[in-house]
Amino acid sequence: MPTEIEPQPERRQCCRLLGASLLGGALPSILTPAMAASGAAGTAQAAAPRVAVASPTDLVAYTENLPPLNYAEDGKPRGFSSELLQLMAAEAGLRLRVEVLPWQRSVQEAARRADSVLFSLTRTPERETQYRWVGPISPRRILVYRLSHRTDVQPASLKHLGGWRLGVSRDSAAARHLQAEGVRAEELELGLDDATNLRKLLAGRMDLIVLLDWAAAWHLRALKLPYATLTPVLSLDVDKSYWYGLPLDSDPAVARKLQMALDRLRRDGRYERLRQHYFD
């Protein structure tokens, strides 16, 4: 479902004044706050021209349900990546609408618009030339975990699981990766989703589980368990990151504004505070 972030008030005022000046045939080279104030007073005394109406949305962002990074809750976009993008847009003075859709539909909708943002995107060599990249949002670390108290579970490698029952979500990229690494189908416990697999692990019906570290923290918190309940024993895919992707025909100035906003959020601590809310 969509939501919109309003730009800062002074940005809206400048937009109105600039639109009025354009319609009146004058274009100021620089519009300072003092000039904006005096211009507003002058406009009130003169016959008011028609003001150009700005587009109600500068950016439309598309994402999927992938908690805790991005998901819908009570009809509104939630999650670390969603809320981080909203902060970035507000910092950059951009209006933003976020829609949470099935992933393939998000990809298709984003491809139709030059003012779109697609997230959370794994930045891969195959995608490198397809987007203007803003980020990174966070590292993407898919790990193999065991219960911390199960010190007997010590697999040597993915190819030598030694009969351990390894849980992974059915039809996931992780499941395909494991099979490409030579893991036999009979060694995999294919579950409906991460939450179901984690409950099976806690119940002793699995010995190991494959999870994105963000998802591990999120689902453990939902069960009121600390992240230390699990111990990573093997790495499956840890050399990539999540990013925001803008179309190649988008305005490069918009990507620069978003990147600068993200950099400020990192420097002033707001990025880390938001991260701790979702990944403690």
Q: Which pLDDT tens digit goes with each residue over 208-267?
A: 999 999 999 999 999 999 999 999 999 999 999 999 999 999 999 999 999 999 999 999
DSSP string, 71-120: EEETTEEESHHHHHHHHHHHHHT--EEEEE--HHHHHHHHHT-TTEEEEE
pLDDT in the model for residue 36: 39
pLDDT in the model for residue 187: 82
Q: Number of C-alpha atoms within 13 angstroms, CB side, residue 52? A: 13
Please tell me the pTM assigned to this model: 0.74
Residue 2 pLDDT class (50, 70, 90 cuts): low
- 3-state secondary structure (DSSP) of residue 28: coil
Query: Which residue is listed with tokens 């539909």?
Result: 105
pLDDT in the model for residue 243: 98
Backbone angles phi, psi at 170, to 5 degrees: -60, 140
Q: Which residues face 134 on adjacent strands? A: 244
What does the alpha-carbon distance between residue 164 and residue 156 come to, in Å, rounded to a whole number? Answer: 11
Q: Which pLDDT tens digit goes with each residue over 106-156?
A: 999 999 999 999 999 999 999 999 999 999 999 999 999 999 999 999 998
What does the alpha-carbon distance between residue 60 and residue 115 come to, in Å, rounded to a whole number? Answer: 6
CB atoms within 10 A of CB 53: 9
| Residue 162 pLDDT greater than 90, yes or no | no
- 3-state secondary structure (DSSP) of residue 200: helix
- 3-state secondary structure (DSSP) of residue 261: helix
Mean pLDDT (the chain) is 83
